[in-house]
Every structure is written in structure tokens, then in C-alpha cells.
Structure 1
Amino acid sequence: MVSERRELQSITVERNDAIVTITLRRPQKKNAANDAMWSELLDEFRSIPNDASVRAVVLTGAGGNFCSGADLSAEERDERPHQLSVMRHIGDVCLALHRLPQPTIAKVRGVAVGAGMNLALSCDLIAASEDARFSEIFAKRGLSLDFGGSWLLPRLIGLHRAKELALLADIIDARRAAELGLVNRVLPDDELDACVDDWATRLAGGPPIALAMSKRMLNNAFNVTLEQAIDDEGLSQTVNFGTTDTPEAIAAFVEKREPEFHGR
């Protein structure tokens, strides 16, 4: 069993077997992301794809909140380079998260607003506690969408609902987020950890190459034609049949047992 815990300046990284959990850790600021947090997240998101033994990633927050967005306090802004450089750096974090081949889960308690909301939406699955609150709060701060929100929202909920969230910047509760299709599950707080643990365990036990290719194709779905999608499916299945995982899955089905996938 692989077990590891690293406490960095603004995040904690825990490894349990094939599952990595990244916890945003600035509870005194509701986990608002400062430059140190963005840099630490970028390093983790860029290193994880190089470790084939990592099968699933969970992203969550400390102290009862997910993330209150970027830290806009004066002391943070005073220490920063030109704003365009800052935004390019934050954009790199967003892209690195989207490019993770491993399935990702956002476990959301409390607030997930602004870049914090879009950080959650950038994950493949979202489980939220009943007390979770979401908002594209940018307009109330005199800002426009960032961390991929302008790309994510229309794809997730359609253009007009995306505009409603972005332009009015209302705070919505977890139930409303689920109704809109932003959240996969809403659970009582005492059931949230068990749900995410179950999902992460199931994903970690799945065929990593096949899951990564399905994730990539789904992420590209709105950017390709049906003909291109079918070609991608054919190429992906050809790759799958060249691995040991597909024969193992077929053998396990015939033998009425659970398959053991190795990602090779």
C-alpha cells in the first residue's frame, strides 16, 4: 500500500494507493487562491500525468469550504507582476487540470465561487454537500469570467443559463446547481466523504487507458464533427485491444470475477 502526505504552503497532497487527494488549505480565507496556491496546484497537475500509478484525483478544500475564488486582497495584488502575466499563470493551472488523463472528482462543501466554482466545474465529477453554494461571482467584483468559465458553462448548461449565472452573479444552492446540471450528486454532509471515496475507488480500479481516452473524447465532443468523433472512437478501441486490460476484462466476465486492470 502506497501512503504519503505532503503539506505545502497552501495545499496538502495525500496519496493512498492509486488515489491522490489535493486539499486547498487556506481556511482563514475560505481557501481563496493566492499566487502560492496557483503555483502549487500547477506543479501537482503537471506532475500527476507522469505517474501511471495514480488512477484518480480528488480535489477538495479545508475548513468546511471548497474555494472562495482568487484572493483579491490588497496585500496579494501589491506583490503581483502585471495582471496579464497573473491571468496567463492561472490559465495554465486550468489547462493542466483539464489535461489530466486521470479522472478527477471535486468534493465541495461550503462556498465554491468565482474561480473556485470553475475549479470544481473543471473536474470530471462533482459531489456536493447540501450546504454547498455556488456562484459565478465575478460581475459583483467588477470582473468577467475566468478559469475557463466562459468555455465550461455553455457546454454544461446551455448559453442562456450560462449568461444568467455570469451576468447576474447570483449565489445558488447545491440543489439548484444539481437541477441545472452543474453537480452530479448532492448529499448530506455526513455522507459526502463516503460517496467520493466510493467513486475514487471505483475509478482507480477501472481501466486507466480506456478511461483516459473516453475522457479526452468527451472533452473534445463539442469541437469535432461526428465523422471525427467516430474516427477517434475507432482509434481508441484499437489501442484498447492492444492492451492487456481488454482481454483481462473479457476473461473476468467469462469467469464471473472482478477484472484487475494494469494500464498497459
Structure 2
Amino acid sequence: MPETSFLNFTIEAGVATLTLNRPDVFNSVNKPLALALQQYLRECQQNPEVRAVLLTGTGKAFCAGQDLAEITGPDSPEVAEIVEKHYNPIVQLIRELDKPVVAAVNGVAAGAGANLALACDIVVAKESASFIQAFSKIGLIPDSGGTYFLPRLIGLQRAAALMFTGDKVSAQEAVQMGMIYKAFPDESFDTEVAALVSKLAAMPTKGLAYTKQLLNTTFGNDLTQQLRAEADYQLRAGHTTDYREGVSAFMEKRKPTFTGQ
């Protein structure tokens, strides 16, 4: 595993927490951070102890996007190369991870930082946090899946306006337009996030993974295709240990104990 102080990684009670840790530059992403994030996401996929993943940041920001110092020197790589090698693999890993991924946006999420959050399954934020599609301010286009996820979340018209103007969206506004799930008061944010990821980690992990895979295909399938996919994944879910435990607990009027199997 990569050794870096730029990203803190812990596993506790089934929850893997990845904390971006470059607060002095608002957790902007450089090569070591991007590669470490890729490696730890792969670890989350492979480690059976991990049943939910939390992505968050330290300090005042969630993530300010790309560290521009890395791409402005005389020998710097092209922006497209950074996107292909650093950000695209992270987005793919988040979407392919067979466990729920929660983004806990603790502060400003700008540019690629905003879109990495939106690639996650569930996004929650501090009430004081904000989201900015900042690319147009420096003459670039939204990347890291932004043009894919944002229109699907809030519609083409709003997505275009936010991407063209680079206007700041408050956490409350993001909730209202369907961009994120919930905004929590700053003072209770950590408690609310911990409760959410703990709940997910205690749920039937394979069933959640199958649901995620169905959501990944829903906008590419017609109704008949999606119904067939639901039948296929329901068959798989019906053969899990957690399904048997859920039914037994319901019949016995007790709380189920899911193992993720």
C-alpha cells in the first residue's frame, strides 16, 4: 500500500474511512494523493472486513480539485493526462466498488473535488459546505464524471447553468435541487455521518452491491432490460446468507444480524 501523509486510511467496525489530508491547500489533489486514493479504494473492494466506505476531508475544505501547481510548470503533464491517469480511475473504482460509498463533504467541494463527491453513492454535507463547478473559471471543461453525474442528478438545464457560470451552490440548495442527500448542522455533522455509515456497514452488503449495480445500469437500459436485470439480481440476492437471516428475523420478530454474506 502507498505511504502518504496526504491520505489517512482507517478501518473500524466495518467502515473504511479515507480522509483527504492536505488542509493547507484545501485538500487539492496531486499525483501522490490520487494514486493513494486509487490503491485504497482497491483495498476496500478486496477486503471482506470493509462493508461501507466513507470519503471525507480535513480542515475547511472537502477537496478543491486539482492542485494547479502540479500542472503549471514547464515540464508539467497535460491536463488530459492527469484526468486519464488520476481522476478517471478513481471514479470507476467508486462506481464499481461492491459496497456503499458515502461522501461526507465537510467544506467546499470545487472542480474535480465536487465531481468526486457526486460519483459516490450517497453525498451528505455540512450546512456550511458548498459545491462549485469551477472549471469554466480557468477555461476548462467539467471532468471526473461531472458531465455524466450532475445532469442525471439535477437535470440538464441546471447542470448547464452551474457548469457555465461556476456559481457556488450551498449545501441546502444542493439538497433542494437533488444534488445531494442531506445537509447536517455543522455541530452534529460528525455524529450524523458516523451514524449513517455505521448503519450501512450493518446492512446486507451483497444486497446493497446488487442494488448499486442496478442503479449503474438504469439510465442505459430500457424498461424490459431493467426488469430482466432486476430478476437476475433478485435471484442472486435470494441465495445470500443475509436474505435467509432477514426472513428468519422477520418471522421471529427480532432484529436481524447481517454478516455481509
TM-score, normalisation: structure 2 = 0.95
Distance in 1 between residues matched to 2:71 and 2:136, nearest whole Å: 22
Distance 1:81 1:8, change over 3 A: same
Distance in 2 between residues matched to 1:87 and 1:194, nearest whole Å: 34
Aligned ranges 1:229-248 → 2 under 5 Å: 229-248=226-245
Instruction: Give yes or no for contact 1:7–1:13 (8 Å, CA) kept in 2.
Output: no
Unaligned runs of 5+ residues in structure 2 are none
Backbone CA RMSD of aligned residues: 1.6
Is 1:138 aligned to 2:125, yes or no? no
Matching residue within 42, 55, 80 for 1:84 = 80
What per-residue deviation string (whole Å, max 9, x for no partner) do you get for residues 53-86 of structure 1? 2110011000121001111126765564344322
> Paired residue for 1:109?
106
Is 1:36 aligned to 2:32, yes or no? yes
Instruction: Give yes or no for contact 1:105–1:126 (8 Å, CA) kept in 2.
Output: yes
SS in 2 for 1:84: helix
Deviates more, 1:83-92 or 1:132-141: 83-92
1:52, CA displacement in angstroms? 2.0
Distance 1:114 1:256, change over 3 A: same
> Paired residue for 2:20?
24
1:33, CA displacement in angstroms? 0.6
Is 1:260 aligned to 2:251, yes or no? no
Unaligned runs of 5+ residues in structure 1 are 1-5
Instruction: Give yes or no for contact 2:4–2:32 (8 Å, CA) kept in 1.
Output: no
What per-residue deviation string (whole Å, max 9, x for no partner) do you get for residues 89-143 of structure 1? 1211111111111101111122101001001111111111111011101000111
> Paired residue for 2:65?
69
Distance in 2 between residues matched to 1:261 and 1:240, nearest whole Å: 13
1:238, CA displacement in angstroms? 0.8
Matching residue within 176, 179, 189 for 1:192 = 189
What per-residue deviation string (whole Å, max 9, x for no partner) do you get for residues 215-234 of structure 1? 11112110111111111111
| Letter aligned with residue 149 of structure 2 | L
> Paired residue for 1:51?
47
Alignment: residue pair count: 259
Distance 1:200 1:96, change over 3 A: same
SS in 2 for 1:44: helix
Distance 1:7 1:18, change over 3 A: farther
Deviates more, 1:69-78 or 1:227-236: 69-78
> Paired residue for 1:10?
6
Deviates more, 1:43-52 or 1:156-165: 43-52
| Letter aligned with residue 250 of structure 2 | F
Distance in 1 between residues matched to 2:71 and 2:227, nearest whole Å: 51
> Paired residue for 1:152?
149
Distance in 1 between residues matched to 2:242 and 2:95, nearest whole Å: 25
